[in-house]
Amino acid sequence: MSSFAEKMIRWQESYGRHHLPWQNIRDPYVIWVSEVMLQQTQVTTVIPYYLRFLQRFPDLNSLASASLDEVLAQWSGLGYYSRGRNLHRTAQLIVRDHQGIFPEKVEVICQLPGVGRSTAAAIAVFAYGARCAILDGNVKRILARCFGIERYPGERKIEALLWQKAQELLPEQGEKDVNGGIEAYTQALMDLGATVCTRIKPKCAICPLQSDCTAFRNDAVGRLPAPKPRKPMPERETVLLMLMAQGKILLEKRPARGIWGGLWCLPEMPVSENAIEYCARHFGMEVQPLPPRIPSFVHIFTHFRLRIHPHPLQLNLSSSATTGDHIGVERMWTTLADALTVAIPAPVAKLLNMAVASRNA
Ligand code: SF4
């Protein structure tokens, strides 16, 4: 037996959980119900639901013949209701396709609705003593820390590596020198992940794996397992026109929907456009560029970054400072000081303040 498995089994004997209501039972039905309930919920929350559920649906046939409403009523408050729906559907499927007998092979169990590879392995271990590896979130955390796996465990390659590791670490087949074998080992992983190698503040001082733990040795416990990498935020670009005439600037009201909905804003122009042609086309105004005094800057929204290029322009004397007649767009000419008193988005306020500062400089 590998020393990893032996340490885990011995630890479980003394410090693991032995009196959970679904332990020391070989009935695959009740083990399946408990494993599904435990998928996203902690043990203490699950226990009363599990007991009530089994009282109402003591076996697979009673669950299969119940209505979905009855099943969901028993599930009410436990959350993630697709689990309850899947249990009901699976019970009916087992009655229909497997003569009401819960399948034994792990490859068949993991095909059942709502049962992934790790849950299927746990059912096979506890119901049939099968030598299968589990790899839920707790186990991924233990293995990532213990073996110093630096990359995010959800990455396909890393997950494959963790499955391989989990398989290699199993107690050796047929070896019975430590009580319980595969069941005690699997329970040990679950218990260690839930009570010692926890996500926050793991109790390394009392951990049976401490002497072998890479993360502990390298002071890396706090950063392993690596969190899910964030996708780089997409960046968009826009030009905000600072159209000046007789000491006033042109603002326009944004449509009610979309970013900055209903706020006063500087007119926006796509970066691909020529500002002089754009102003002639959209506002009927002749303009000339002013020296660019305000640098481009980035404003961060929840889902994207907006690179804003301010473009100062002066209305030609020959052109009149109209508000234009663009259908449905409200516009006004206002002083910079007054513009800062109306409802404007933060980056426009930032830009106008920079304009005021550069004018006073
Ligand atoms: S020593 Fe700490 S980090 Fe390492 S397995 Fe044990 S509890 Fe987890």
Q: Which SS3 state, helix, strand or coil, does residue 315 take? A: strand
Question: What's the gap in Å between 340 CA and the centre of ligand 1?
Answer: 56
Please give the number of the atom of ligand 1 that sits closest to the Cα of 141. Answer: 8
> What Rg value do the Cα atoms of the chain yield, rounded?
32
Catalogue all structural domains in the chain, each as residue range(s) with its CATH number. 14-132 (1.10.340.30), 235-360 (3.90.79.10)
Pocket mutation for ligand 1, best pick of 3, 11, 15, 146 (most atoms within 8 Å of C-beta) = 146
| Residues contacting ligand 1 via CB (< 6 Å) | 142, 145-146, 196-197, 202, 204, 207, 209-210, 213, 215-216, 221
Handedness of CA 6, 9, 11, 14 (dihedral sign): negative
Question: What's the gap in Å between 172 CA and the centre of ligand 1?
Answer: 23
DSSP state letters, 285-297: --EEEPP--S--E
- Dist CA 208 CA 190 (whole Å): 14
CA proximity to 102, closest of 53, 55, 33: 33
Question: What's the gap in Å between 217 CA and the centre of ligand 1?
Answer: 10
The closest residue, in CA terms, to atom 2 on ligand 1 is 204
Q: Are 130 and 182 in contact (CB under 8 A)?
A: yes
Q: Which residues are catalytic?
A: 35
Per-residue pLDDT of the chain (361 residues), as tens digits, is 558 999 999 999 999 999 999 999 999 999 999 999 999 899 999 999 999 999 999 999 999 999 988 998 888 888 888 899 899 999 999 999 999 999 999 999 999 999 999 999 999 999 999 999 999 999 999 999 999 999 999 999 999 999 999 999 999 865 544 446 899 999 999 999 999 999 999 999 999 999 999 999 999 999 999 999 888 889 999 999 999 998 899 999 888 777 888 889 999 999 999 999 999 998 888 999 998 889 999 999 888 999 999 999 998 877 666 665 555 678 999 999 999 988 888 899 999 999 888 877 6
Query: 276 Cβ partners below 8 Å, 6+ apart?
Result: 286, 287, 288, 289, 313
Structure tokens at 162: 């963790």
- Dist CA 71 CA 131 (whole Å): 32
- Dist CA 289 CA 298 (whole Å): 22
The closest residue, in CA terms, to atom 4 on ligand 1 is 213
